[in-house]
Amino acid sequence: MFQDISEESEWDLIEQWVARSDKLLLKKLSRNDTSWADEKGKHQAGFYIPRMIREAGFFPSLTARVDKPHIFHSACPTFWPQTGEHKASGMRHYSNKGSETHFTVVPHDLFRGLSPASWLLGGRLADPVAGAQYWFFVIDSTSLDAEILETALDISAEFHFDILDPAQILKARALDKDASEELIERINDAISNGTLDRLLASVGRLPAPALIAEEARAAYFKATGTRHLDPFGMVAPGDALMRISRDFEFQIFKGYELRRRAVEIIAALRQHRDMTSAVVHGFPDLDRIFLSASQQRKNRAGRSFEYHLAELLKAGNLKFEEQAILGGRRPDFVLPDKAAMMPGADRGYLEALILSAKTTLRERWKQITHERFNSAIFLATVDDRVSRQALDEMQAADIALVVPESLKTSKEAAYSSHANVISFKEFFEAEVALKRPTLLKLQLKQPV
């Protein structure tokens, strides 16, 4: 069940424990890491440690039991700040059952009812606390702290687990060194020359979302050597879409955003006689600036995803129309066009479809349940946090979810066992080219 993202943040407490650590472990939790907390009769109680992490020196070495030499174990006393519990945790590895190690004796309640793709963040304490050598936080993927974590660390769409330096979190929200020095120099020069208003005007408006989206695709092409987004010519078109929208574009957007907001804040604070009065009397201005920044980030993400999806449709030579108004509703994409969706249109069920796009679903997927015009409904997303309950409800509403290829098979997401979830590759090759070839401008030859 999704948690309310407006809940109180524990990030300040997280940073306190990060500061007491010499190394950190960040792991995206899979269903195997958490299912024991929700299902009765499960003997397992704990999460798994990948072999790469086990052998990285973060945890103590395993020792074979004398009576059962195929079982390796080590003690790892832990503290869990969210519940205040000390646990006699430990690692257990069965050498005859695979490479992963089971981390046992953990608080059950923290792992119960988690959304898919939630996070485990822990640290190795520089100085043990009441005998505990390690601490751990469990962060639900729909929480505010998950948003802070993912934004602060620029976590890529392909991330699963890693050992981190505490400085990566404590300094994560600082600007890139070269970029920050260049920006500081520009602002100081503008202050000295009396041209701060002119600088604010030059960076005060971000490029149009379509231009930033185009810049992101160009960056992706350059980084990967790819020359097109033809979904029929790519092994994993959905993964490409996810990387462009979640990784490349966000980095580009943040560069523009930082320049704008930094100059805005300096301009707002310089109106006051000293730092104290600037902070106290200027707080409403600061609050307005940060609220505007937060809203702009959320609005940008959804629209840019639609731009990139449109590029996939164009590159695949599909017939489609964007934002067509149908009966008071405006689906993101109708295929082949609005005319085919009108009452009495002379076409069959498989000669049209609705394709909606949402970067994150939450309960908003229900908005499309009325977008039915004698055709199938597909909902495209790059969200890996959709619950099993939501997937069941979508299946009951006859909505097919389209996700990146890596998310379809991911152990952290809940998609692999659901028949109404397909990959982007399956959408283009099976649902369009095979079942609905009339939606293609140039019909593909079917394999013999």
Q: CA-CA distance, 309 to 237, in Å (whole number)? A: 10
Topology adopted by domain 321-439: Restriction Endonuclease (3.40.91)
**pTM for the full predicted model:** 0.79
| Alpha helix segments (H runs only) across 153-236 | 166-170, 177-193, 196-203, 209-224
Distance in angstroms (rounded) separating the CA atoms of residues 116 and 380: 18
- Residues 4, 257: Cα–Cα separation, whole Å: 26
Tokens of 411: 């152990």
Spatial separation of the C-alpha atoms in residues 46 and 106, rounded to whole Å: 6
Hey, what are 87's tokens? 């646990």
Say what the pLDDT of residue 6 is.
40
> Judging by beta carbons within 10 Å of its beta carbon (0-12, 13-18, 19+), is residue 342 exposed, middle or buried?
exposed
402, 231 Cβ separation under 8 angstroms: no
Q: Which amino acid is at 16?
A: Q
In CATH, the architecture of 11-170 is Beta Barrel (2.40)
pLDDT tens sequence across 372-419: 688 999 999 999 999 888 899 999 989 999 999 999 999 999 998 899
Confidence of residue 324 (pLDDT cuts 50, 70, 90): confident
Instruction: Give residue-wise pLDDT tens across range 41-66.
Output: 566 689 999 999 999 999 999 998 88
CA–CA distance, 443 with 369 (Å, rounded to integer): 30
Q: Return all residues near 233 (Cβ < 8 A) that are at least 6 apart.
A: none
- Domain positions in the chain are 11-170, 177-315, 321-439
Q: 79 by DSSP, 3-state: which?
A: strand
CB 407 within 8 A of CB 111: no
